[in-house]
Amino acid sequence: MTRATDDVIIKTVSRIFTPFIQIFALYVIMHGHHSPGGGFQGGVILGASFILLVITQGLDKTRRRFSQKLDTIFCSIGLLIYSGIGILCLILGGNYLDYSKLNKILPVIAAEARSLGILGIEIGVGIGVMAVMYSIFSDIVTGGE
């Protein structure tokens, strides 16, 4: 499954549709509090767009755009954002993930600080899930290299 398809139609259509799928995934992450969605669902759609690139363009071309080293860095950045916001709330004097204490560093009221805190950890979860899905898929498809 690592070679590209040798068909013009499938290659062109997947190249046209990948940016729209990624923008839709960002929309799903951002509107998590208002409609079905959130961090995990948007991360899965982002990972699925990269899987579409692998099965139509080939693994080498996709690795040139999104290397394994960058993948590992994104995995760690996602977890860092999630835990970082939690520990920041701890430092500012509340419980772990107690977002209302964030109004000491941001110029907003306590209720709005809660909303911004939830948005922050949704972004972290989305980035982490995308990186893990891409890593698991490229691991299975190359047979464990």
DSSP state of 67: -
> In this complex, which beta carbon is closest to another protein, that of residue 13 or of residue 109?
13
Residue 144 within binding range of another protein, rule CB under 8 A: no
Shortest Å, Cβ 34 to another protein: 9
Instruction: Single out the residue of 30, 48, 77, 132 in contact with another protein (rule: CB under 8 A).
Output: 48
Please give the Cα distance from 64 to 70 (Å, whole number). Answer: 11
Look-up: residue for tokens 């306590």? 110
CB of 102: closest distance to another protein in angstroms? 28
Q: Does 142 bind another protein (CB under 8 A)?
A: yes
> Is residue 73 within 8 Å of residue 130, measured between CB atoms?
no
3-state secondary structure of 32: coil
Cβ(24)–Cβ(106) under 8 Å? Answer: no
6-45 residues in contact with another protein (CB under 8 A) are 7, 9-10, 13-14, 17, 20-21, 24, 28, 31, 35-37, 41, 45
CA terminus-to-terminus distance, the chain: 14
Chain residues binding another protein by CB under 8 A are: 1-3, 5, 7, 9-10, 13-14, 17, 20-21, 24, 28, 31, 35-37, 41, 45, 48, 51-52, 55-56, 141-143
